[in-house]
Amino acid sequence: MEFTLTFSDNQWVCYNAEFKIAADSLDEIDTGIEKYLSTIYPSGKIQVKMFFDFDRFPQWHRQYMPHYFNRDLTFEINTQNDN
């Protein structure tokens, strides 16, 4: 699953055609995406790619290369064994 990651109005924003979340930290973004994924997938490993919107790269991060903000995450949804 792919998302666009950007920074707007002092918040991180992550979105695709079906979902959008804004938060103060990337950890909060990750938690929100995991909750969203658990509502549409009953279980399994889900690979998430976030590509940073370079047109909205925040001024205070200009000393860093924009590709540093691209992210690859894997979420394991409901993979507990109940036996």
Distances from the Cα of 55 to the Cαs of 38, 62, 76, in angstroms?
31, 12, 32
Rounded-to-integer distance, Cα 24 and Cα 61, Å:
15
Total structural domains within the chain:
1
Contact status, residue 78 vs residue 43, Cβ threshold 8 Å: yes
Q: How far apart are CA 19 and CA 17, in angstroms?
A: 6
pLDDT, one tens digit per residue, over 6-15 is 888 889 999 9
| Paired tokens of 70 | 């691209």
Range of the domain at 53: 2-82
What are the tens digits of pLDDT across the range 12-58?
999 999 999 999 999 999 999 999 999 988 888 999 999 988 777 66
11: which 2 tokens?
């918040």
